[in-house]
Structure 1
Amino acid sequence: MTSLPPSTGHVRTVTEAYLARHPDERASLTMLFDVLAGTDDPTSRKTFPAHVTCSAIVINGERHVLHILHKASGNLLAPGGHNEPSDQCLRDAALRELHEEAGIPPSAVVPLAGYEDIPLDIDVHAIDANPSKNEPGHHHVDFRWAFQLMTDQAVTLQEEEVDGYQWRPFATTSSPTVRAKLAQLT
């Protein structure tokens, strides 16, 4: 059986479920709707000028969020990245990236209650051109999935891509949109 990446229909369904919760964000996702209207795979890293990526917002028992220091950007971000053909759905991509970059297996987390099928946040951000990968400047439409860490799991970094990590309180989460949504959690 051949693995297929998350379908355009799946991306659209998840997006519409997210927008049912955050209708005021529809205009900010115009670039995503343009990609979904096209014929290219929205989750392929070769789809330009934008494609879908996925991140894992991992919350521990102290209500801190895992941030990793990405070597490529030098930024503290949630573990995440591009979709792969083996990812059945968008949430699977976030879980795979979490395991790859931070060594936390999918069995160590559960979706945050109320966010099983809906991302906590969808963010659109610019990515600089990368001539070494023959990639023009483009945008990532990052589906940010929220998970609760269920075990006292050690973080084991993927040294090729990650330089360090921090657990940060909700109030100092690096993404302003994630920070605002976490502040609304009771």
Structure 2
Amino acid sequence: MNPSDQPRAVAALLPAAPLQDHPGGDSRGVLNVVGVHLYLERDGRVLLGLRHPDSAFAARTHHFLAGHCERESAVACLVREAEEEAGLGIDPAYVELVHLVHVVHGPGDRPRMQLVFRARAWTGTPEVREPDRCLSWDWWPADALPDRVVPYTRAAIEGIRAGRLYTELGW
């Protein structure tokens, strides 16, 4: 096992954390999961990946290149995930926060802060590097996205195009 894969493998074995994380079970202490997403736009088209049919999350649905922070800054996570998932080189100097989606998927689910960063420049051509998670990377017209897009991904793209920085979903 590659050392960088170890946190994912361990996380997959652990049960989902209960909603009450605060010492003593106080529900005020529910921790939010932090997700980091890459918004790449080229010639009016947005890069989205088609999730694998066996994915635990959003199977057969289009989504940003994304990951969860693993004891690292959000931008460091973005740079790491871009390389791991698609072979893209991102220089942190060319990254800017363009949208935040605060989402809860359903009753009892952990709230999530989804940070969406734009890279103004990158190196490489998107290639599938994790075929068990993503089937393809494709550029979609921002105003004609595929039918099956993760709802908060669609909301973020719409927010970015409208010049809004923040969206809430599911509350």
> In 2 relative to 1, CA 92–149 (structure 1 residues): closer, same or farther, beyond 3 Å?
same
Gaps (5+ residues) in structure 1? 1-37, 40-46, 130-135
Residue 16 (structure 2) aligns with: none
Structure with more of its chain in helix, by fraction: 1
* Whole-Å separation in 2 of the counterparts to 1:95 and 1:163: 21
What is the TM-score when the length of structure 1 is the normalising length? 0.56
* Whole-Å separation in 2 of the counterparts to 1:83 and 1:163: 23
Tell whether 2:118 aligns with 1:146. yes
Does the CA-based 8 Å contact 1:109-1:148 persist in structure 2? no
**Residue 124 of structure 1: which of 102, 112, 123 is its match?**
102
4+ residue runs over 4 A deviation: none
Residue 17 (structure 2) aligns with: none
Deviation digits for residues 7-30 of structure 1 (CA, Å, limit 9, x no counterpart): xxxxxxxxxxxxxxxxxxxxxxxx
Gaps (5+ residues) in structure 2? 1-21, 24-28, 165-171
**Residue 157 of structure 2: which of 167, 174, 178 is its match?**
178
Task: Note the C-alpha offset of 1:54.
Answer: 0.6
Residue 75 (structure 2) aligns with: 91
> In 2 relative to 1, CA 184–146 (structure 1 residues): closer, same or farther, beyond 3 Å?
same
Say how many residue pairs are matched: 126
What is the TM-score when the length of structure 2 is the normalising length? 0.60
Task: Note the C-alpha offset of 1:70.
Answer: 2.2
* Whole-Å separation in 2 of the counterparts to 1:138 and 1:147: 28
Task: Note the C-alpha offset of 1:63.
Answer: 2.8
Matched residue SS, 1:167: strand
> In 2 relative to 1, CA 183–169 (structure 1 residues): closer, same or farther, beyond 3 Å?
farther
